[in-house]
Chains A and B, each alone.
Chain A
Amino acid sequence: MAFEQVKFYQTGTFTVGNRLLEPELRSVQADTTRTNSLNSGHRACQGCGEALGARYAIDAAMEATDNQLIAVNATGCLEVFSTPYPETSWQIPWIHSLFGNAAAVATGVAAAMRAKGRETTRVVAQGGDGGTTDIGFGCLSGMFERNDDVLYICYDNGGYMNTGVQRSSATPPAARTATTPAMGPEPGNVFGQGKNLPEIAMAHGIPYVATATVADLRDLEAKVRRAMQIRGARYMHILVPCPLGWGHASADTIRIARLAKETGTFPVFEAECGEVTSRLPIRKRLPVEDYLKPQKRFAHLFGPEPATATLARLQALADRNIRKYALLEET
Chain B
Amino acid sequence: MNVGQPASAPKLPWRLISGNHACALGAVAAGCRFFAGYPITPSSEIAERLSRLLPLVDGVFVQMEDEIASIAAVIGASMGGVKALTATSGPGFSLKQENIGYAAGAEIPCVIVNVMRGGPSTGMPTRPAQGEIMQSRWGSHGDYPIIVLAPASVREIHDENMRAFDLAEPLRTPVVILYDQDIAQRTETVELGDANGVARAQRKWASGPPAAYQPYATGEDGIPAMSRPGAGYRVHTTGLNHAENGFPTQSPQAVERNLGRLLTKFERHRDLIDSWQTLGCDDAEVLIVAIGISARAALRALEICRARSLRAGLFRPITLWPFPENALREAASQANAVLVPEMNAGQLSLEVGRILGGKRVEAIHRFNGEPITPAEIAQRVETLAREMNQ
Contact = CB atoms under 8 A, between A and B. Distances in A.
Contact of A134 (B40, B48, B65): B65
Q: Please tell me the size bucket of the interface on B.
A: 10 to 19
Contact of B41 (A96, A98, A163): A163
Output the residue of A133, A137, A164, A167 with the most chain B CB within 10 A. A164
Contact of A135 (B48, B52, B55, B66): B66
B233 interface: no
A163 B122 contact: no
Q: Give chain A's interface secondary structure class.
A: loop
Contacts of A98: 91, 121-122
Interface in B52-105: 52, 55, 61, 63, 65-67, 91
Nearest to A180: B51
Contacts, number: 52
Given A166-B48, A184-B55, A137 B65 contact: yes
B39 A179 contact: yes
A163 B44 contact: yes
Interface in B5-55: 38-41, 44-45, 47-48, 51-52, 55
Interface residues of A, number: 23
A287 interface: no
Contact of A178 (B41, B44, B121): B44
A167 B121 CA distance: 24
Output the residue of A75, A99, A130, A183 with the most chain B CB within 10 A. A99
A100 to B, nearest CB: 6
Given A96-B122, A98-B121, A98-B122, A179 B67 contact: no
A144 interface: no
A166 B39 contact: yes
A179 B65 contact: no
A161 B45 CA distance: 14
A119 to B, nearest CB: 30
Interface in A134-152: 134-135, 137
Interface string B102-126: 0000000000000000000110000
Contact of B48 (A99, A164, A184): A164
Nearest to B62: A179
Given A98-B122, A99-B91, A135-B65, A164 B51 contact: no
Interface of A: 75, 96, 98-100, 130, 133-135, 137, 160, 162-164, 166-167, 169, 178-181, 183-184
Given A164-B45, A179-B61, 9 more contacts: A98-B122, A99-B91, A133-B65, A134-B66, A164-B44, A166-B44, A179-B39, A180-B51, A180-B63
Please name the 8 residue pairs, one residue from A and one from B, whose CB atoms are nearest each other, closest first.
A135-B66, A166-B39, A163-B39, A134-B65, A160-B39, A179-B51, A178-B48, A179-B63
17 contacts: A98-B91, A98-B121, A99-B91, A99-B122, A135-B65, A160-B39, A162-B41, A163-B39, A163-B44, A164-B39, A166-B44, A166-B63, A169-B65, A179-B39, A179-B61, A180-B51, A184-B55
